Structure 1
């Protein structure tokens, strides 16, 4: 939360200019080279918030709790987007699910059964966002800013890619689930993962936990440490500890890739120290090729499984 609020504070002048441009006022920021007009983006955000809040309240969540949950979700997504873009991580998840944030900020004992049940149902909408669209959208905006594609053509292409991927993924997930049984996929999300939201809600209702000072204490300590790390990073050029690392240090995906992260950090440091920016920029295609090669290998493996190992494929984590 401190990372997101800090980012908004740093960008406050730009955001003020965006607001002025969106409503045709003077001293705004030009959106000529943006992927979407600012007014369209703001109207889309407003409509999306209203739509989400409507359905959250319809499944039984109290409007105030729905607002708190949506705030947690937006904060998490914005934070993950900055972490992916600035940190260069291939995949990452948040250190806390939004539902837990909403529950413990109020206290499960003070929430109605309807609200608790609705929070459990909302896990299907926003829970473990390993692959959210916002980081991809940010990368798409960066490509657009460098290549200067026609706005309408580029936005249409992004929309088509998103729509087709959603339709294909939904279709095959449901088709295979009904044909073979989702439990037989062997994936955690289709086995134990599907039970966690409901087991969590039942356990919280039975425990009737009240508001705890410790939760606010940890929240405050985390915010203070993040602010301190941010200040030190901007104040001293030699400071190495980044607030992003502090915010995701406990995440499983980071622990699994810790060796790779430190190896990449060491290689980058050596390239810059002994070869300068020229060697560093010259080495970029090689490392991009490693990432592309990894996903290409996974794709080739999928094709091989589909042709020669139907029903008995090989599990690859990518």
Structure 2
């Protein structure tokens, strides 16, 4: 309360010192080329974030700082070398995209033996794994059934949107891989930053395949599914996993929690539509999300861009780099650079928060 009052006085009377909460853009300090290429580089200190940062592992904080500086160094290097044929160098979203896919693949690979036992317990009653882990019997079978029925529903829903079957598979394979990576890093490291603006299958598939091969109907569907991919900071998977963990600690029924989550999801969908439409009619609609999605669609249908090879190269670089960083952390105790730091440091939200990792 006191901090907010002092910051309020600072807003009204600038000579009163602030106690954090302002963004100080370092990019304004560097005005000449090539140093001005660092772009928007804000430093801020939020009191609430300082407290939360004590719960983050030290190696993750260190890695975020290191990779945040490396991104700026890459921008300056691109300006010094005059790489005008790569206007978006160093392709931070693309590298981050590859990094998240790498985190997912590495997590699945490290869990392969457990996942194998889970599948065996679903099809072989004598190999029931749930009974040995103090969780309800048939939990894995129910989870697998939910995965199958949910996948079938998604396929039918998207087919009704005129998406092709192959595109549906690749679209949601990429989307769920991002979700798994976000859930893993939240569970393991408690990162507060995983917004991933403009990173998703709707961005990588047109770059990989080319819009002409994807087709107009799939591109239109991508625009309507933009709500899933504009940013991933409110992704449901980590919140659900944290709910399961809390339920496990307080010994609450997981079945009841799943039912409550399902009901809350249905209620949330209806309530969000009602409140958004109501507020739009009363105070005006916030249309920039729709503008972003359908102006992008207009560009796709007008220019029909082909395969973007630099995008593919930098996504692959991010994927391989994450796998290498993960292997180095496994092999060498002294290696402090965390692959999660590489993944999250290229996102928008790391900029206002980078001061909290110091």
For Structure 1 versus Structure 2, the TM-score category normalised by the shorter chain is: 0.7 to 0.9
Q: 1:33 aligns with which of 111, 130, 134?
A: 134
- Distance of 1:108 and 1:258 partners within structure 2: 36
1:91–1:130 contact (8 Å) kept in structure 2 = yes
The CA deviation at 1:160 is 4.2
- Distance of 1:211 and 1:56 partners within structure 2: 24
The CA deviation at 1:74 is 0.7
* Corresponding position of 2:277: 174
2:211–2:300 contact (8 Å) kept in structure 1 = yes
Written as runs of structure 1 = structure 2, the 5 A alignment for 1:42-53 is: 42-53=144-155
* Corresponding position of 1:58: 160
Helix, strand or coil: the match of 2:349?
Answer: helix
- Distance of 2:126 and 2:230 partners within structure 1: 41
Bigger drift between 150-159 and 35-44 goes to 150-159
Q: 1:243 aligns with which of 325, 328, 339?
A: 339
* Corresponding position of 2:326: 230
Normalising by structure 1, report the TM-score.
0.73
Unaligned runs of 5+ in 2: 1-100
- CA deviations over 1:208-266 (Å, ceiling 9, x no partner): 22223323322221122111110111112222111111112110111221111x13xxx
Is residue 199 of structure 2 the alignment partner of residue 99 of structure 1? no
* Corresponding position of 1:138: 241
- Distance of 2:343 and 2:277 partners within structure 1: 35
Greater helix content? 1
Q: Which has the higher contact order (CA 8 A, sep 6+)?
A: 2
| C-alpha RMSD over aligned residues | 2.2
The CA deviation at 1:126 is 4.1
Normalising by structure 2, report the TM-score.
0.66
Task: Give the aligned length.
Answer: 255
Unaligned runs of 5+ in 1: 183-189, 264-318
Helix, strand or coil: the match of 1:257?
Answer: helix
C-alpha spacing 1:120/1:151, structure 2 compared with 1 (3 Å): closer
- Distance of 1:196 and 1:216 partners within structure 2: 23
* Corresponding position of 1:67: 169
- Distance of 1:141 and 1:154 partners within structure 2: 8
